[in-house]
Amino acid sequence: MTKAKTLITVASWEDRFHLGIRKIVNDCSLSRVVMFYYKEFEERTANSRNEVETLFREKGVGYSAVPIAFGDAPGTWQSIYESIGSIVSSNAPVLMDLSTMPRETLWAALCQLERYRTPTSYIYHSPADYADWLSRDPGRPRLVYKLSGIATIGRQTCLVITTGYDPERTRQLMWYYEPRRILLGFQDGRQFQNDVKNVQRHRDSLKEEYREFEVEEFELDAYADDHGESVISKQIEKWQNSHNIVMTSLGPKLGAIALFRVHSQHPETSLAYAPSNEFNPDYSTGISQSHFGEIQW
């Protein structure tokens, strides 16, 4: 799979967290794991963390469990900064497990790894199935530290959203930023009932927003080799000279890689994170396909 000796992951109560870790440990010769876990879900992830920590000890893999918090963005960034800074000095390859990693954490980690030009690969385990609802009660959106771009005074805003299964998060972003133009990226295909739970739910739920804002739709494939990067780049290139571009990812996790790459090529753009205050305890079950890739800095 990879020559990486260090794994970066975020603890979850989902099956694919502990099943995925077991798969990685069995397939790779890891020497170290940095496992972040969110304080807000400390109790919910306790069993999974105990299970993988037992596995690490059995396999002789060193690990550190680092608490972070959704409610403390500056403190979380500092913890990620310091934790990753301590493992990249040797320039040894790093593997990121994106499966249960919130996008804000993912982008913060990539920012640090890019800074040090650390050889980086990533893996994403798709679940066997998702629950009917995944998240709800969206929180206040925020720009991501160090990735918030450079706004030009006097320009309108263009909001780019790669959508997921929660139209309320999309609505929250729309009304929070109140952009002149909105580009909604829909994952193509019918996997996990995407055509109904994502595309149709958005069109049905956001009829008022479609009338209020200038909304354009486009399709992308987060599971393609570039995770939709070329499609997203073409979308923003039409508006980058006339609008301030704000981008966020709510769809398949691999699409967040594409947005990070687009931002790296266009650092004036902004990456935004849209938190949720509630996640389904039965968010997903099992593991189906595992997706592997490498970051080229």
Tens-digit pLDDT profile for residues 140-190: 999 999 999 999 999 999 999 999 888 999 999 999 999 999 999 998 755
Domain membership flag for residue 270: yes
Residues 139 and 180 occupy one common structural domain? yes
Domain membership flag for residue 152: yes
pLDDT of amino acid 192: 54
Residues 97 and 58 occupy one common structural domain? yes
pLDDT of amino acid 295: 93
Domain membership flag for residue 1: no
Total count of domains within the chain: 2
Q: At what angle do helices 254-265 and 229-237 cross, to 10 degrees?
A: 40
Residues 143 and 246 occupy one common structural domain? yes
Domain membership flag for residue 91: yes
Domain membership flag for residue 115: yes
Residues 125 and 139 occupy one common structural domain? no
**Domain assignment of residue 208, given as a range:** 135-279
Residues 202 and 84 occupy one common structural domain? no
CATH of the domain at 110: 3.40.50.11700
Residues 110 and 139 occupy one common structural domain? no
Residues 245 and 182 occupy one common structural domain? yes
CB atoms within 10 A of CB 53: 17
Residues 118 and 223 occupy one common structural domain? no
pLDDT < 50 positions in the chain:
none
> Comparing C-alpha atoms, which of 109, 140, 154, 159 is closest to residue 7?
109
Domain membership flag for residue 186: yes
Residues 100 and 17 occupy one common structural domain? yes
Residues 143 and 125 occupy one common structural domain? no
Domain membership flag for residue 271: yes
CATH of the domain at 263: 3.40.50.10770
Residues 153 and 271 occupy one common structural domain? yes
Domain membership flag for residue 266: yes
pLDDT of amino acid 205: 86
Residues 272 and 212 occupy one common structural domain? yes
Distance CA 196, CA 181 (A): 24
For residue 66, which amino acid is it? V
